[in-house]
Structure formats: C-alpha cells, structure tokens
Chains A and B, each alone.
Chain A
Amino acid sequence: MKRPLNELELSEVVAGAEVPLRVAGGGTRGFGAGDLSVAGISGVVLYEPGALTLVVRAGTPLREVEALLASEGQRLAFEPMDHRALLGTGGEPTIGGVVAGNVSGPRRVQVGACRDALLGVRFVDGRGKVIKNGGRVMKNVTGYDLVKLMAGSFGTLGVLSEVSLKVLPMPEVAATLVCDGLDAVAGVAALSRALGSPFEVTGAAIVGGQARVRIEGLAASVKYRSARLLDLLGAGWEVGAGELWQEVRDVLPFAARAGAVWRVSVKPSDGPVLTAALGVEHEAIYDWGGGLIWVLVAEGVDIRPALKGFSGHATLIRASDDMRAKVARFQPEPAPLAAISAGLRAQFDPRGIFNQGLMG
C-alpha cells in the first residue's frame, strides 16, 4: 500500500499510478483494504476558535480533531457516525474519510450535514494535480462549489489532502425527551410536531420502539424548551436519562445482529409508509425525524424495489460479499444524472484510477 506523507508525495503517487487505486482513510467503513492510504497526511493546519474555523489535513484521526475542539469547548456539530461497531471493522476514522462520505449524524436536522460545515478542500485529481476550492471563511461564492461536490464523492473524483470546517460551540447542557410504545406512524408524527416547533430540536429519532427528541443550549433555555415540548407532545412523554444518541448515531442496535443494513433517505412522513410496504421481515431505526431510516433485513434482501413510488434513495451499508456482488452499494441514478456524474468523473479522473465502480 502507498502511504504518502504529504500532499506533494500524494500528487506524485497519483501522477505515477499505472493501475487503478482504492483510496483509504482509516479503513473503518468496510470498503476493503486500500492501495493508497491518506492516513499519513495528518495534522492540524489552523484552528481559530473565535472564528469557529478548523483547517486540518485529511488523514488526521477524527479522535484527535474532536479532542482538540473539546479543549476549546467546541465540536463538529454534524455529529459524524463511527461505523466500526456496525460494520465490525477496526482502524481509526479520519476526518478525510468523514468528508469523503459526507458522514452526518442525528444533529443533521438542525445544523446541517458534513457538507454544510465544509468550508474548503484541497485534493489531488486523477492527473496528479493539486486543486483547491472554497477556503476557510463561512461565506464564499467565488467560482463553482466543488467543496460540496467533493463531500460525499467517496474518493471517486479526487483524493482529499486538506479540509476546512466550520465548528460550533458545545452547548451548556442537553436533554432528551422520550416516549415508549408509539408505532412508527404516530412516532414520526410526534417528531414532526417537535421539529415544526420553535424549540430548535437537535435530534429526532425512533429507536427500539422509543421516540426521542433532543434539545441543547443554555441550561435555562433547555429547561424552558423541554417543558414547552412536553406540553406540545402530550401524554406518554418524559425526560429521558443517560446517553441516548450514540446508539442512534452509530446504529448500535444492529451492530451485533446478523443481516444486511440499508440506509434509506426519504421524505420524513414517507418513512413509516415505506417500511410498512417493505413486505419482508425487518427492523427499522428512524433518524432525522423519520427521513433517515436504517433498515435491518435478512442477508441478500434488496429493498430497492419497495422504494418505487417514493422519492428518495437507499444505500447498502452492510452486506455479505455475496450480496455485494449482486446489489449495488448506491442507488442507481436516473439516466440524465448518471450521465452527468459519469461526465464529472471523467473530467476529474480522466484515467479512471480512483475507486472505480464504487459509485457507478
């Protein structure tokens, strides 16, 4: 495996590559062993807490990033998932891997996804050229937004070498309101009421039959908002205790369970309708107010046919090799979009060396 230690070495490796490469960050997301690791390109370039800005090299372990931010009472607000438990992988998640996968957790409903916090990128394209886009400031409309394009491109357009992120202060306190025993339809309806309130809900999920609503902020504010939300949500809701969001973020209830895991993105109110229409034995965890569904099914079960008639898409997150051979990881795109995506890949990576076949 090639393991460049800086951007220049990375560009030389890519320019000199004669065969396709699998790009890896921390290797925690089950894409198999890579041929090119970015983990050696590591370290913080700039951190300005007063400007809520962090610039960091792509191979920096997520853990280091989070520890640094915590030392100033700040955090990555988009709450990136740790895939290791669900996928049974080892390794150390890197910030570049988080960005490449646009990995975003429960707080997505309030603060946006990783792509919304991403201010700038540096990457090496398929010709070995170093490209920069965006920057380190929060408002920037200079030229095309390749920053968004790189977030969630899974290393198919270029290899990230550096990313700039908007960070946010940690709240003084957080509270979670819970309600057991709601079915999915009633649960999602309750989450919608909470998300449609003025109380700035930062998490809205249903896991293990329990609906959860999170509020964060100054202590007095969280107290006030909790009380108002309890009024709004009605009977059966109460203040929950303990760490309730890591299991949502990391899909922990499915970690030790056999079967394939799908990640489905739909209109929130469609969530329970879709799962009811699946027609196979399954379990579901609803996040993002019902708009993000984690579905556990038996190995080999393709749920995409059930998505017909719904607007949205499904990604196969965990599957056996056998299933992978038959079912695409990403939802096939309609023809015009597939043509544009293929066109972009051909421009960014004309020789077709990055993560061939991963996205289409």
Chain B
Amino acid sequence: MQMPEPDKRILSRKMQIVAQLQAVLPQGAVIHGEYETRAYECDALTAYKCPPMVVVLPDSTAEVSAVLKICHREGVPVVPRGSGTSLAGGALPTADCVVLGVARLNEVLETDYENRIIRVQSGRTNLSVTGAVEEEDFFYAPDPSSQLACAIAGNIAMNSGGAHCLKYGVTTNNLLGVTLVLMDGTVTEIGGAYLDSGGLDLLGLICGSEGQLGVVTEASLRILRKPEGARPVLIGFDSSEVAGACVSDIIKAGVLPVAIEFMDRPCIRVCENFAHAGYPDCEALLIVEVEGAEDEIAAQLALICAIARRHEPVEVRESGSAEESAKIWLGRKSAFGAVGQINDYMCLDGTIPVSALPKMLRRISELSEKYGLDVANVFHAGDGNMHPLILFDANKEGDLELCEAMGAEVLKYCVEVGGCLTGEHGVGVEKRELMFAQFSADDLEMQLRVKDVFDPDWLLNPAKVFPLQASAGRRGS
C-alpha cells in the first residue's frame, strides 16, 4: 500500500505550525512529540502505520474552526479522527499531516423525547448516545460492532451500519442534522430537528464522505423507543444455498426481522470452540431476530420457523428465554474475537444481492484454495453485507500481501455479481485502489469534483477513497 510522499516544505515548518496551533488551543491539546504522536499512528487497520506531524484535540467547534483556518492557510493536510476504529484506514495519518481528533467533543447537548431527537458532540461514542437516553427506554439504532468505542463523527464519516440495519437503516437514515466545519474554517449548519433538510441533500452527501468534505462537530440524531422485547431463532442447514433460499423466503413472506445473521461451517466451528454456545455442526447457520411484545414475537417466530421447516433444516432452535437468546447470540457476537484468537485476519465487507449468495460462497471457497488461505464467513444476510474473514499470518513474510490479493479478488467478484466493494466499513486506504472495479472514470471524476467544491485545495484526508493516481493532479496542488 502506497501513501503520498510527505511534503518537505511542510515538515520544515513544523514548529512554526505547532506554535500557531498552540496559540488557538488550550494547553495539552497540541501533541507533537516523536513518541506521543505514535498513539495516533494507525486506526484499526493496524497493518499500516505512520505517526502524524501533529495531533490536535480541540474542545469546541470554534477551536476546530481555528485549527482548520491555520491548516488551510499553511496548506497542511488534515486527517480527521473519531475514535480510530476504522477497519479501512480512514484515519491513517501521513507524516506531514495534522490529525484532528474529536475525542474531547463528547457532550450531550440536548435530549428531546417529545421530538425523538438527541443532539450530541461528534466525539461521543455510539453506545453512549444510547446510554444517554436509555433511562427513558429510547435508543440510537445504528449499532456497528465497535459501538463501545467508535465515535459518532466516525459513524457519520463512514455511514456506519450494524447488525440491526435491516429494520432501522444505517447512519444516513438516522442522521437529521450536523454542524459542519469546512476546510477554510467556515462553520455551517445542515438540517436540524426536522425530517428533511431543504435544498440539495447536503446532509446525505456529507454522510459517508470519509472526512473529506468537512469536519462534523455536532450531530442531531433520531432516537427511537425501544421495542417491548426481542427474541432470536437459530436455524441450521446442511447447505449454504438452502440457507440463502430460506432468507429470501422469510423476506418475501412479509415479516421484517430486525436481523438475519449467517455463519458458515468454518466460522461456526471457530466460534463454538471459543464460546461454547452449543451451535450445531452444520454447513450454514442463520440467526433471525424479531421484535415486539411477547405474543407478537411468538407469531413472527412461528411464521419464520414454518418457512424454515420447508427447507429441511438440521436444527431449529427458538429461544424461549433471555438466557437462551443470549446463548444464541453468544457465538455470533464473539466471532471476530474467536477468529482473532487463532489467527490474524482481514475482514472484508463487500455487499452482494442476496440471490448471489451461493455463487459468492463457491467463489470464496475456490479462492481460498487458490491462495492457500482459510476463510470464515459471517455476514448480515438480510442485506447481503458479507464479512469474509481471511486468515493469514502477519509474521510470515508475504502473507499479508497474499491475503490482500485474495481480498481484492473477493471484492471484485462482489461487484461482478451486482454488489459493491464496501457495505459499511468505507473505502479508506484499504479499498482505494479497487475503485475502478466499481466505477468508470466518469463516475469517479464526478465524485472528485464534489470534493473540489468543498475542499478546493484537497487538504482534508486527501489520500483516501480515490485511487492515488486518480487524485494525484488535485492533491498538493
């Protein structure tokens, strides 16, 4: 993976830039020592590291604006950072950049149950947004696996999803407004406590723009009343194809489960060894969860089980209690940890049409053989968002590259069958060079032009999302 060469003209002015930043920020909010900046050298894509020139941790929108004004004037690239949990390298620094961390912006500004909205500073973690409204039985719906740590700022940058988005949508469907600071320091509001922003849908454009169009410092989020209850059913099949057909039939039947999760045999085995959740040893396993009052849950599960039984499952295990529900979810929720314990792995997140699932799994298994790397598949089946975990050995020379090459083939195949490169993690640096597999030169040029409007000097997170060659003429100009 390549990153642009650091700009020596910037590096030579480092202390001058630090002094300017110190002049507008409180003590301790500017980090520039050789060792201290290392804490920010990577995000959750740990294979790539580069300590930034400077890290700033502003306390307010006004301070963010002051920082951006300085960087804009000085021509210094800025890499915005939420909690640093990006799996795609969205917050990977360059040696000549200022990392702008929003971690200190973590206040709840307003909770309004009557209008079902919460306004928070963007550094607040996803789970603590729900934490702030839980006592009134409300919650914030998007629930990425990293929700304990990840920040709303990063969720907005990557348009994060989660296990429950089949019913509740992803970040963009739950975001009503933002305070956005543009690269030149201009502070602006988009949307607010109402359901549609006027004019062009700039809110929709900002969400998922990977920190390349502006820095979000505050967000208005839709909160929902918690359902009265939820309960899963576990269904085992002796073929992935049949499991896929079952998913399709459940969706067609008119019940809309809150989640449909899929695991294949290698994944089931690893999870079972790790978590002892009592999963059947079979080819494919579905966990389908529905919500509502007790009788509503029972009615929906009865319908789902009836559909499943038409597909000759090897096991149907309906949860009858909170304890049994927890046990069904235990294995799935520990999947990444379980795999991580036995191996290094790369987690892909391409999305495919649900109907393409069988051929996708066949292709992955062929590629697994070709590259000699094992794969465990776990994914959000209801919306086709795959999570193949490709296992490799980080200490073995060439294994990471081999794994990346295989990952690229898997993702290209996702596009070939009608899907996309990334369903919820974002492009970052990880999938940057694959963008031409999904987009034509004209498609990408239009996206580059959007960045030209918001950030004409290409200073915000410039080396991400687009193939380096495609953005070369614009960066550092």
Contacts and interface: CB of A to CB of B under 8 A. Distances in A.
Partners in one complex: yes
Interface of A: 48-53, 72-73, 102, 104, 108-109, 112-113, 115-116, 125, 129-133, 135-149, 151-153, 156-157, 168-172, 189, 192, 195-198, 218, 220-221, 224, 228, 265-269, 288, 291-292, 311-313, 315, 330-331, 333-334, 336-337, 340-341, 343-344, 346-348, 359-360
Given A142-B422, A311-B194, A340-B453, A132 B299 contact: no
B299 A218 contact: yes
Contacts of B115: 192, 267-269, 291
B204 A141 contact: no
Contacts of A359: 199-200
Contacts of B423: 137, 139-141
Contacts of B453: 340, 343-344, 346-347
A139 B260 CA distance: 14
Nearest to B303: A218
Given A135-B419, A140-B351, A143-B427, A340 B194 contact: no
Contacts of A268: 114-115, 194
Given A138-B384, A141-B159, A288 B354 contact: no
Contacts of A147: 204
A273 B256 CA distance: 37
A151 B173 CA distance: 14
Contact of A142 (B172, B195, B435): B435
Contacts of B158: 141
A171 B172 contact: no
Contact of B202 (A112, A337, A348): A337
Interface string B174-207: 0000000010001011101111111111111101
Pick from A141, A147, A344 the residue with the most CB of B within 10 Å: A141
Nearest to A345: B200
Nearest to B293: A224
Given A265-B196, A267-B193, A288-B195, A136 B201 contact: no
Contacts of A138: 165-166, 351, 383-385
B337 interface: no
Nearest to A147: B204
B454 A340 contact: yes
B105 interface: no
Most buried by A among B198, B205, B209, B293: B198
Contact of B254 (A73, A108, A313): A73
Nearest to B419: A137
A149 B201 contact: yes
Contacts of A312: 192, 194, 198
Given A143-B427, A269-B115, A343-B454, 19 more contacts: A51-B248, A51-B355, A108-B195, A112-B169, A136-B418, A139-B384, A141-B422, A142-B420, A142-B421, A143-B465, A145-B207, A147-B204, A148-B172, A195-B116, A218-B300, A220-B299, A268-B194, A315-B198, A344-B453
Contact of B438 (A51, A142, A148, A288): A142
A228 B427 CA distance: 45
A113 B198 contact: no
**Which of A50, A132, A171, A311 has the most CB atoms of chain B within a 10 A radius of its CB?**
A50
Nearest to B190: A337
B251 interface: yes
List the 6 closest A-B pairs by CB distance, nearest first: A148-B204, A50-B248, A313-B198, A139-B423, A343-B453, A169-B254
A153 B452 CA distance: 19
B225 A198 contact: yes
Interface string B106-122: 00000011111100000
Contacts of B443: 131-133, 143
B352 interface: yes
B16 interface: no
Given A142-B431, A145-B159, A169-B256, A135 B420 contact: yes
